[in-house]
A and B are shown apart, each in its own frame.
Chain A
């Protein structure tokens, strides 16, 4: 057994425990130190991921391949951005506890385990490690009623989703007799072994994972949890866990259940259409920008699922590129949202952005870039993500899906562009407080990535295609 396969995860977990001990021992500045060390450990893990050698280990439960490498790097990037975003907010809101970055770190370990899981058991443990950390993070502002509500709501519904997932896993295990993705794939290639029980199990597994990516009809928790959780936690929840859960969905449906394509395809098409519709329609009436981002993320997950519904390596490539663009524009948008503070208090209303262009042109411009990108307007990265997705759907003859996708993005463009209108053309409100450097760094990094994506799209596309071929095909 080559234990070095999981070296990035091992190093990251050991670093997490070391930071925990340091945090207890150090009385002064424990939070800032823990955040710095967390970022350092994640960078180290990213280097180790890049140096990783492909292989299968731990009794066939843990795989390192092009797909896991791609997804892990994306997860680590999202997590690093979220930790940087949280540093100043947590101090301003007086939540200074060193456990915060440590929980983010352990959630990241869980997500990396998910990206490498090739067995239903390691899949489940990865999901639980991630979810449990995020439940605690959502309730982190424990004296704030909304945060506690968010944590509790997320926990109760998440436990239900875990139950569905486990039930599906048990059905698959009972009917197929194995939990290993490789064995399942070989077994189900024979039509005689693909019984109804396995199909029902797959439906439950899809339901459990759809909850994690907040796809309709498992989206109920999203707006409340996004609104109630501390904003950097919302930024974190909106990026890394979505990537990990979507990657898991790709691997599970593409690998072991790839031969059941005809069965799960209808399901994914339905979920994708419902998510795109709800994401674009329900967001129109929102007044709170965090709730708006919640509906926006539901819509984005719907678009990503279109690529999965195509059921080809091309589609998976599209999903991966979409996730890359989504992570950076989302992190950047949340950096701008975190900068919305007046007289030391965070404000969340869309109306609070009124006339931002006159008081802080830089912030308004970056937020406009992210909104344009989310609406899918070229040449920003969001456009390219959507392009690859719809291309994959069209190449499989799924015209209806592609047309609905394009129509809903037009509807979605309305509320993204409304924010830009409020910022640039409405009467100026009071200026925001001076923003800390950390937010500017993330906003500029995410913004440059979004604006300049078309210049380096080719290598990203090549990496995504290699990753897609590792699981599909």
Chain B
């Protein structure tokens, strides 16, 4: 009883917030509604007994993806009204094509039926002895290891591509020099001064980093990181 009540509550909010994501005029609001939708979807996973997926959804989608969206929306300042300008103009043609496609799909899907032996073909039947985290692990890292690694390679290529196509070496960009960083000893930068207790610190004795070489050594504020 309580479970079904919770289900309807969560799915109701999920649907409402999903509708708000696509309809709200302010993109920041849209992203915030998206976060609400993620939370409710996570709650639905919890109800279904998939606690690992629920946690992953919150951590990955809310913690990383949605926040990234928010950053992008705020930084790029996309004018959504302008983007939607052609909507009215293209609506009739688009709607006609959509309706035709829908009709065709309905005709195709009309022939759909559940095959008698389809249970046997189902790849991952639930095993009561294993919790779902373990089952996901088995599927990802044992059965589908090839696909998992191939996806990893695809993401690596995407990363290389993004760097190749956008990163530019500027004269002003600061590179991290690992060797110099490691070779630095406390003696290069620190001076220990005996302070007489109770005497206070004279103004001209503030401790500053010693300048030992002409070229500044990896400035402290550089979070560096080539690539």
Binding site for B on A (CB under 8 A): 1, 6, 13, 17, 20, 24, 58-59, 61-62, 97, 99, 102-103, 106, 109-110, 113, 121-122, 125-126, 128-129, 132-133, 135-136, 139-140, 142, 151, 171, 174-178, 183, 193, 195-197, 200
Q: How far is the CA of A6 from the CA of B154 in the complex (A)?
A: 17
User: Which chain B residues lie closer than 8 Å to A24 at the CB level?
Assistant: 226-227
User: Which chain A residues lie closer than 8 Å to B165 at the CB level?
Assistant: 136, 139, 142, 151
| CB-based contact A135/B161 at 8 Å | yes
Least distance between A141 CB and chain B CB atoms (Å): 10
| CB-based contact B121/A177 at 8 Å | yes
> Which has the most chain A C-beta neighbours within 10 Å: B144, B154, B226?
B154
User: Which chain A residues lie closer than 8 Å to B115 at the CB level?
Assistant: 176-177, 193
Least distance between B116 CB and chain A CB atoms (Å): 10
Q: How far is the CA of A177 from the CA of B118 in the complex (A)?
A: 6
Partner of A132, one of B144, B161, B227: B161
Q: How far is the CA of A135 from the CA of B142 in the complex (A)?
A: 31
Interface presence of B160 (CB below 8 A) = yes
Interface presence of B136 (CB below 8 A) = no
| CB-based contact B150/A102 at 8 Å | no
Per DSSP, are chain A's interface residues mostly helix, strand or loop, or mixed? Answer: helix
> Which has the most chain A C-beta neighbours within 10 Å: B118, B143, B146, B147?
B146
User: Which chain B residues lie closer than 8 Å to A195 at the CB level?
Assistant: 111-112
| Number of B residues with CB within 8 Å of any CB on chain A | 28
Enumerate the 9 nearest inter-chain pairs by beta-carbon distance, A residue then B residue, closest first: A136-B161, A58-B146, A125-B150, A177-B118, A99-B164, A59-B143, A177-B121, A195-B111, A196-B111
Binding site for A on B (CB under 8 A): 108-109, 111-112, 115, 118, 121, 142-147, 149-151, 153-154, 156-158, 160-161, 163-165, 226-227
User: Which chain B residues lie closer than 8 Å to A140 at the CB level?
Assistant: 164
Other A-B pairs beyond A20-B160, A125-B151, A129-B154, 20, CB < 8 Å:
A1-B142, A13-B149, A17-B156, A24-B227, A58-B145, A61-B146, A99-B160, A103-B160, A121-B147, A122-B147, A125-B154, A129-B157, A136-B164, A136-B165, A142-B164, A142-B165, A177-B115, A177-B118, A177-B121, A197-B108
Q: List 23 A-B contacts (CB under 8 A).
A: A6-B146, A13-B149, A13-B153, A58-B145, A61-B146, A97-B164, A106-B156, A110-B153, A122-B150, A125-B147, A125-B150, A128-B154, A132-B154, A133-B157, A136-B157, A136-B165, A175-B112, A177-B115, A177-B118, A177-B121, A178-B121, A196-B111, A197-B112
Least distance between A241 CB and chain B CB atoms (Å): 14
User: Which chain B residues lie closer than 8 Å to A133 at the CB level?
Assistant: 157, 161
Least distance between A144 CB and chain B CB atoms (Å): 12
User: Which chain A residues lie closer than 8 Å to B146 at the CB level?
Assistant: 6, 58-59, 61-62, 122
Least distance between A364 CB and chain B CB atoms (Å): 36
Least distance between B208 CB and chain A CB atoms (Å): 33
| CB-based contact A129/B147 at 8 Å | no
Q: How far is the CA of A195 from the CA of B144 in the complex (A)?
A: 28
Partner of B161, one of A103, A126, A171: A103
| CB-based contact B118/A113 at 8 Å | no
Q: How far is the CA of A122 from the CA of B146 in the complex (A)?
A: 8
Q: How far is the CA of A236 from the CA of B135 in the complex (A)?
A: 42
Least distance between B93 CB and chain A CB atoms (Å): 18
Q: Which residue in chain A gives the minimum CB-CB distance to B114? A: A177
Q: How far is the CA of A142 from the CA of B167 in the complex (A)?
A: 11
| CB-based contact B160/A102 at 8 Å | yes
Least distance between A27 CB and chain B CB atoms (Å): 11
- Known A-B contacts A58-B146, A62-B146; A136 and B160 likewise in contact (beta carbons under 8 Å): yes
User: Which chain B residues lie closer than 8 Å to A97 at the CB level?
Assistant: 164
Least distance between B65 CB and chain A CB atoms (Å): 20
| CB-based contact B118/A174 at 8 Å | no
User: Which chain A residues lie closer than 8 Å to B153 at the CB level?
Assistant: 13, 106, 109-110, 129
| CB-based contact A132/B157 at 8 Å | yes
User: Which chain B residues lie closer than 8 Å to A129 at the CB level?
Assistant: 150, 153-154, 157
User: Which chain B residues lie closer than 8 Å to A121 at the CB level?
Assistant: 144, 147
Q: How far is the CA of A58 from the CA of B147 in the complex (A)?
A: 9
Least distance between B58 CB and chain A CB atoms (Å): 27
> Which has the most chain A C-beta neighbours within 10 Å: B109, B151, B158, B164?
B164
Q: How far is the CA of A59 from the CA of B115 in the complex (A)?
A: 23
User: Which chain A residues lie closer than 8 Å to B160 at the CB level?
Assistant: 20, 99, 102-103, 106, 136
Partner of B108, one of A61, A176, A200: A200
User: Which chain A residues lie closer than 8 Å to B118 at the CB level?
Assistant: 177
- Known A-B contacts A20-B160, A59-B143, A177-B115; A196 and B150 likewise in contact (beta carbons under 8 Å): no
Q: Which residue in chain A gives the minimum CB-CB distance to B120? A: A177
Least distance between A236 CB and chain B CB atoms (Å): 15
User: Which chain A residues lie closer than 8 Å to B142 at the CB level?
Assistant: 1
Q: How far is the CA of A104 from the CA of B145 in the complex (A)?
A: 23
Q: How far is the CA of A109 from the CA of B152 in the complex (A)?
A: 12
| CB-based contact A197/B158 at 8 Å | no
Least distance between A329 CB and chain B CB atoms (Å): 29
User: Which chain B residues lie closer than 8 Å to A58 at the CB level?
Assistant: 145-146
Q: How far is the CA of A229 from the CA of B72 in the complex (A)?
A: 30
Q: How far is the CA of A176 from the CA of B109 in the complex (A)?
A: 13
| CB-based contact A171/B108 at 8 Å | yes
| CB-based contact B150/A126 at 8 Å | yes
Q: How far is the CA of A196 from the CA of B112 in the complex (A)?
A: 9
User: Which chain A residues lie closer than 8 Å to B108 at the CB level?
Assistant: 171, 196-197, 200
Q: How far is the CA of A59 from the CA of B139 in the complex (A)?
A: 10
User: Which chain A residues lie closer than 8 Å to B109 at the CB level?
Assistant: 197
Q: How far is the CA of A113 from the CA of B146 in the complex (A)?
A: 10
Least distance between B145 CB and chain A CB atoms (Å): 7
User: Which chain B residues lie closer than 8 Å to A102 at the CB level?
Assistant: 160
User: Which chain B residues lie closer than 8 Å to A20 at the CB level?
Assistant: 160
Q: Which residue in chain B gives the minimum CB-CB distance to A106? A: B157
Least distance between A367 CB and chain B CB atoms (Å): 32
| CB-based contact A103/B121 at 8 Å | no
Least distance between A191 CB and chain B CB atoms (Å): 14
| CB-based contact B144/A59 at 8 Å | yes
Q: How far is the CA of A330 from the CA of B93 in the complex (A)?
A: 42
Q: How far is the CA of A246 from the CA of B94 in the complex (A)?
A: 33
Q: How far is the CA of A103 from the CA of B227 in the complex (A)?
A: 17
Q: Which residue in chain A gives the minimum CB-CB distance to B155? A: A132
User: Which chain B residues lie closer than 8 Å to A139 at the CB level?
Assistant: 165
Q: How far is the CA of A200 from the CA of B110 in the complex (A)?
A: 13
> Which has the most chain A C-beta neighbours within 10 Å: B153, B158, B165, B226?
B153
